[in-house]
Amino acid sequence: MSENPWWRDAVIYQVYLRSFADGNGDGMGDIAGIRSRLGYLRDLGVDAIWINPWYRSPQADAGYDVADYREIDPLFGTLEGAERLIEEAHGHGIKVIPDLVPNHTSDQHAWFREALAGGPGGVARERYVFRPGRGPDGDEPPNNWESVFGGRAWTRTTNPDGTPGEWYLHLFAPEQPDLNWAHPEVRAEFESILRFWFDRGVDGFRIDVAHGLIKDEELPDLVAPRGSGYRYPAGTHPHWDRDEVLEVYAGWRKVADSYPGERKFVAEAWTDSADRLARYVRAGALHTAFNFEFLQSPWRAAELRSVIDATLGNLGAVGAPATWVLSNHDVTRHPSRYGRPPTTWRPNEGYQRTGTPDLVLGTRRARAAALLMLALPGGAYVYQGEELGLPEVEDLPDSVLQDPTFVRSGGADRGRDGARVPIPWSGDAPPYGFSPDGASPWLPQPPTWASLSVAAETGDPDSMLELYRSALRLRRSHPALGDGTLTWSDAGPDVLSFTRDPGFACVLNLSDSPVELPPHQETLLTSAPLSGGRLPPDTAAWLRV
């Protein structure tokens, strides 16, 4: 391994495949669309792209229900197209990280069909979690676990002879049966899938639900329902973040390390604390993990600083780099979060969309947050459209919503579609260059997005896009940025101020009034104009010191 592998401070752009660019005109983003926009990504200045699942899938959960891990879904293209994308991206200096979904398959996966067809007691069922029901007729689920998308986490099957049968576990939708990771064939199969894609040149994987693979074999009832606030002692939750899951990743790490070129993993692991997260990235485990504590932090100096310190402290202690994330396809886009109180977002609590967000305020904060994120030690993730300042689309009509959360919560949670609307590239009206020939995108775009398109923002010095481009350019060239450490400066309770060697300072004003900047030689970049040389509220500055 090299001293300073690329993944320690990479800026990774999340391509939400369905909504990035549509190459064939069916209203759905695809691999051809990504290939046609690689120049944009190169010019933006990102090091890698993470692509949401592209595998063959019935799309019950936007591709997170995989029917064949070695095939590309025809919606998105072909295996050959994926291979060409990998090659072309590499030609532009961009690495490619597909999404891998190991916690569950689709109910259309060959293994699950075989399991159902084989009936109770069949060995094919052992790859999943089948159990008889409780109660005299077996018509109550085996335990009280709940689906992340709402409702119970078990669905009853029908036996091949038509009688009511066993139940199977699905922590997500019923179309996503959980695999049994105690089964050696499951483990072997995923190592083989890793090799299949590493052989095709991918530079790593994003691991979906990395904290969920291992379940307590006894399948005990949960002691408290979701949302109750009860916290299990570390490592004792029956199905999240169990210690044994790291054995799986030790094997994966060996596979990755057997390939040249520093292949890397990033874990989607929702843990209760930064020290639990650090376990996933300690020596011999995975390389990196998304830092959701940062994403969930309220927009307040004390909380942000404590998340930053906990992250750097806990990950630094195991020699792993931090990652910084503001948005992704599962959470409310951050200009909308930051534009309403509370500014925080928590998983499994649904979307608290009270009132209308103040998008002027939210966008101002989003600009400052970008400069904070890109100045912190470690790597960063940029969710497509974040560089355009896209807000959450909160007025999608019920009839177009596709996220299973909406239906499974009985409409109480409107789900994640508002963060997934296809991004605008050019033009005055939908589809804003997303699809050729004016096809209708799979989710409707707001009529108000003309000024947020790539074309409209390009060359406008006040745009979010030019802010990201400038920040990424500076970050690449400045020796202080990327991997390393920071030193806090005392700047008052509502101001975050830190320096990085050599000669760099970042200051973020979270107070209500302008503050003086520390002594500096040059202002490198600000998220909003200074006022009389002072840093206004909700503004960040990068300084040469």
> Which residues are designated catalytic?
208, 268
CB of 475 to ligand NOJ, least distance (A): 26
Scan residues 60-79 and list those touching ligand NOJ (CB under 6 A). 61, 64
- Residue 116, Cβ neighbours under 10 Å: how many? 22
Residue least distant from ligand NOJ (Cβ): 64
Minimum CB–partner distance for residue 101 and ligand NOJ (Å): 6
What are the φ/ψ torsions at residue 357 (nearest 5 degrees)?
-70, 150
**In the complex, least distance from residue 413 CB atom to ligand NOJ, rounded to whole angstroms:** 13
Residues 6+ apart with CB under 8 A from 475: 11, 45, 374, 375, 481, 482
The residue from 10, 21, 72, 101 that contacts ligand NOJ (CB under 6 A) is 101
Instruction: Please state at what angle helix 245-257 crosses helix 184-199, rounded to 10 degrees.
Output: 30
The CA distance from 30 to 15, in Å, is 10
Q: Is 425 in the site for ligand NOJ (CB under 6 A)?
A: no
Based on CB atoms, which residue is closest to ligand NOJ, 100 or 380?
100
Q: Which is nearer to ligand NOJ, 64 or 69 (CB)?
A: 64
Q: Coil, strand, or helix at residue 92?
A: coil
How many chain residues touch ligand NOJ (CB under 6 A)? Answer: 9
Task: Examine residue 209 and tell whether it contacts ligand NOJ (CB under 6 A).
Answer: yes
- Of 46, 205, 219, which is closest to residue 133 (Cα–Cα)? 219
Name the DSSP class of 424. P
What 8-state DSSP symbol labels residue 511?
Answer: S
Residue 160 contacts residue 119 (beta carbons within 8 Å)? yes
Nearer to ligand NOJ, 335 or 404 (CB): 404
Residue placing its CB nearer to ligand NOJ in the complex, 21 or 213: 213
Give burial (CB, 10 Å; 0-12/13-18/19+) of 161: exposed
**Residue 330 interacting with ligand NOJ (CB under 6 A):** yes
> Could you give the string, one character per residue 268-287, with x where binding to ligand NOJ holds by CB under 6 A and - elsewhere?
x-------------------
Q: How far is CA 490 from the centre of its chain?
A: 33
Do 317 and 287 form a contact (C-beta atoms < 8 A)?
no
User: Least Å distance between CB 209 and ligand NOJ?
Assistant: 5
End-to-end distance of the chain based on CA atoms, in angstroms? 33
Least distance CB 228 / ligand NOJ (angstroms): 22
In the chain, the largest separation of any two C-alpha atoms, in whole Å, equals: 80
Draw the binding track, 163-202, toward ligand NOJ (x: CB under 6 A; -: no contact): ---------x------------------------------
- Taking the least distance from each CB to ligand NOJ, the nearer of 21 and 209 is 209
User: Least distance to ligand NOJ from the beta carbon of 105, Å?
Assistant: 11
What is the closest distance, in whole angstroms, from the C-beta atom of residue 99 to ligand NOJ in the complex? Answer: 8
CB of 109 or CB of 329, closer to ligand NOJ: 329
Helix, strand, or coil here: 127? Answer: helix
> Do the beta carbons of residue 60 and residue 402 sit within 8 Å?
no
Distances (CA, A) of 18 to 68, 94, 186, 360, 538: 18, 20, 28, 28, 33
Tell which residue, 149, 265, 282, has the closest CA to residue 210.
265
Q: 59 or 343: whose CB is closer to ligand NOJ? A: 59
Nearer to ligand NOJ, 179 or 507 (CB): 179
Among 22, 178, 208, 413, binds ligand NOJ (CB under 6 A): 208
Select from 442, 403, 451, 401 the least CA-distant residue to 424: 451
126 binds ligand NOJ (CB under 6 A): no
Q: How far apart are CA 385 and CA 419, in angstroms?
A: 9
Q: Give the shortest CB-208-to-ligand NOJ separation in angstroms.
A: 5
Taking the CB of residue 37, how many other CB atoms lie within 10 A of it? 20
Rule CB under 6 A: say whether 146 interacts with ligand NOJ.
no
| Positions 475 through 534 that interact with ligand NOJ (CB under 6 A) | none
- Structure tokens belonging to residue 27: 């209203």
| Binders of ligand NOJ in range 243-272 (CB under 6 A) | 268
Indicate the residue among 381 and 498 with the shorter CB distance to ligand NOJ: 381
Q: How far apart are CA 474 and CA 459, in angstroms?
A: 17
Q: At closest approach, how far in Å is the CB of 51 from ligand NOJ?
A: 12
Return residues touching ligand NOJ (CB under 6 A).
Answer: 61, 64, 101, 172, 208-209, 268, 329-330
